[in-house]
């Protein structure tokens, strides 16, 4: 009985996962669309060497983009949605319930990030050869770190008092801008791109996907530190009342 | 006896004064009603009690250990069935696991005959439930949690007469077991009929009444609604 309060975030996470899996359109779109794009791009530029390209380097931008989508349109957008629908107003108005809600939400989307990563791996790995458990585990580890990296800006965006539609637009702009800036800086020589690239999480996520978690130890330390601070900030300043409401 | 004591409450929005030196008391084992026109500050007052809004002045002494609040807005994930919604609600509202059996035992004891309709809603998909069904389900489920102060913001709005009857029976049952209930409504008649005392939010204060005669006499109305209209149109509202 005394473990019940501790188990609440896990039980809530199971309900959130159930809710997400009952709405498979988002799952399909976030994973299927990058997979389709991947195959289209590969088909368009296929050469003799392309088939022998390293899987990780061929897909790192895709994994980085999917992890940003899970953080922005899963973890963060659902917080905005739950606020704007009045769900938070109905249930989450004490410190204890805030902790339960935020932990449950974070656990649910941590799990979902692994699902998204795994589905994309299965969909694309076959093109380069057979799937391998040890490789999958390495990729999932890197992907989860990317998810944590994007969770910081995504969670901070939930503190902006804007409604559902505007949040959607803002998240889309951030997502596309990060991707465009990241890929654009690859071939750009202007120093401004290098400076902007330093502050672009997509570039850092791509690097984590390429070189690994332990090899990116300083970046990982910053990511973990930031997510802890962000968690406290969101707990402290979480908007409860819908923005559309006069309350 | 446990009490909620609101003492000399001041609440301001920019230049707008919502409450000025307002006082109110809710005691355990009783139902206190709250009346007031739209926009007079009933929901804001509940937000202040729950700590969601800051007060400009005054004190709120809350001697209760467990407060539950049913807001006007009720949103449920549309893909869930109501038993999932119940489980989710209990994760936020109860310190101990609450099952359907536990909830049914309580509400059926307070209002015999409610179990069948409650169980019908239990199995329904949230998106197929009417607003009234959801409100009733939420209110009755919340009452089954072991809270000692329950605040309900218009629990009977949009609810059919049968559910309304059961809601009031359950509120009376909970109060008889020592729960303090603070409930708002725009139906003056039900507040006067079912509450041990009630407050009219007029001229930025809570004016306390214990019966219909006192209410009608104070505001010079020949009916409850007429008295309400007079109270709502007084200068300073």
Percent of chain B with pLDDT over 70: 100
On the question of pLDDT at A48 being above 70, the answer is no
Q: Are strands B57-62 and B31-35 parallel, antiparallel or unpaired?
A: unpaired
The mean pLDDT value for B37-47 works out to 91
Average pLDDT of chain B? 93
Domain ranges of chain A: 4-237
Number of Cβ pairs < 8 A linking chain A and chain B: 66
Spatial contact of B14 and B170, defined as CB atoms under 8 Å apart:
no
This model of the complex carries an ipTM of 0.86
* DSSP 8-state class, residue B236: T
DSSP A5-54: HHHHHHHHHHHHHHHHHT-HHHHHHHHHHHHHHHHHHHHHT--TTGGGS-
Residue A246 has a pLDDT of: 56
Residue A198 has a pLDDT of: 81
Both tokens of residue A7?
A: 């188990």
Please tell me the distance from the alpha carbon of residue B105 to that of residue B224, in angstroms, as a whole number.
36
Q: In terms of CA atoms, which chain B residue is nearest residue A100? A: B92
Residue A13 has a pLDDT of: 97
- Which of these ranges, A44-53, B129-138, B219-228, has the smallest mean pLDDT? A44-53
- Write out chain A residues lying below 8 Å of B93, CB-based: 91
Determine the residue among A7, A78, A91, A92 to mutate to test chain B binding: the one whose Cβ has the most chain B Cβ atoms within 10 Å: A91
- Write out chain B residues lying below 8 Å of A23, CB-based: 79
- Convert B203-216 to b/e letters by CB count within 10 Å (16 or more is b): ebbbbebeebeebb
Q: In terms of CA atoms, which chain A residue is nearest residue B91? A: A8
Q: In terms of CA atoms, which chain B residue is nearest residue A3? A: B96
- Which of these ranges, A32-46, A98-112, A165-179, has the smallest mean pLDDT? A32-46
Both tokens of residue B150?
A: 């329950």
Both tokens of residue B226?
A: 């007429």
Domain ranges of chain B: 3-232
**Listing from the earlier edge strand, what are the strands of the sheet with B57-62?**
B16-27, B3-13, B57-62
Closest CA to B142 of B187, B185, B110, B190: B110
Percent of chain A with pLDDT over 70: 94
HSE value, Cβ hemisphere, 13 Å, CA-based, for A202 = 22
Q: Across the interface, do B73 and A5 touch by the CB < 8 Å criterion?
A: no
- The pair phi, psi for residue B235, each rounded to 5°, is -60, 140
Question: Domain spanning B3-232: which CATH class is it, in words?
Answer: alpha beta
């Amino acid at each position: 009985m005394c473990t019940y309060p501790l188990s609440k975030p896990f039980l809530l996470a199971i309900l959130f996962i159930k809710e997400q899996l009952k709405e498979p359109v988002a799952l399909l779109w976030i994973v299927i669309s990058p997979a389709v794009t991947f195959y289209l791009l590969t088909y368009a530029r296929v050469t003799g060497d392309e088939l022998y390209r390293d899987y990780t380097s061929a897909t790192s931008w895709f994994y980085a983009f999917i992890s940003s989508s899970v953080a922005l349109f899963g973890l963060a957008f659902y917080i905005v949605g739950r606020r704007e629908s009045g769900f938070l107003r109905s249930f989450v108005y004490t410190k204890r319930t805030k902790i339960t809600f935020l932990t449950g939400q974070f656990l649910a989307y941590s799990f979902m990030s692994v699902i998204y990563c795994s589905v994309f791996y299965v969909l694309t790995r076959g093109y380069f050869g057979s799937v391998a458990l040890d490789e999958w585990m390495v990729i999932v580890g890197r992907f989860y770190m990317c998810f944590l990296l994007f969770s910081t800006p995504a969670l901070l965006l939930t503190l902006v008092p804007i409604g559902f539609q505007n949040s959607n637009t803002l998240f889309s702009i951030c997502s596309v801008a990060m991707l465009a800036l990241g890929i654009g800086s690859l071939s750009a020589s202007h120093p401004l791109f290098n400076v902007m690239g330093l502050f672009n999480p997509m570039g850092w996520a791509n690097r984590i996907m390429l070189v690994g978690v332990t090899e990116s130890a300083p970046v990982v330390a910053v990511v973990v530190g930031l997510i802890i601070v962000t968690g406290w900030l969101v707990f402290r300043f979480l908007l409860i009342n819908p923005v559309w409401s006069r309350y | 006896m446990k009490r909620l004591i609101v003492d000399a409450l001041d609440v301001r929005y920019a230049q707008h004064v919502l409450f000025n030196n307002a006082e109110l008391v809710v005691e355990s084992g009783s139902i206190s009603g709250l009346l007031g026109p739209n926009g007079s500050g009933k929901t804001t007052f509940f937000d202040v009690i729950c700590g969601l809004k800051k007060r400009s002045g005054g004190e709120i002494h809350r001697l209760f250990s467990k407060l539950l609040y049913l807001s006007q807005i009720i949103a449920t994930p549309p893909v869930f069935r109501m038993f999932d919604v119940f489980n989710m609600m209990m994760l936020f509202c109860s310190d101990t696991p609450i099952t359907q059996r536990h909830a049914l035992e309580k509400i059926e004891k307070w209002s015999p005959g409610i179990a069948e309709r409650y169980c019908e809603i239990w199995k329904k998909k949230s998106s197929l439930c009417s607003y009234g069904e959801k409100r009733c389900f939420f209110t009755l489920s919340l009452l089954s949690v072991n809270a000692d102060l329950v605040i309900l913001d218009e629990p009977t709005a949009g609810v059919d007469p049968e559910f309304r009857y059961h809601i009031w029976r359950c509120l009376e049952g909970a109060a008889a077991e020592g729960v303090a209930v603070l409930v708002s409504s725009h139906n003056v008649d039900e507040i006067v009929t079912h509450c041990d005392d009630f407050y009219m939010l007029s001229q930025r204060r809570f004016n306390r009444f214990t019966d219909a005669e006192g209410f009608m006499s104070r505001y010079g109305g020949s009916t409850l609604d007429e008295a309400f209209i007079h109270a709502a149109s007084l200068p300073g509202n």
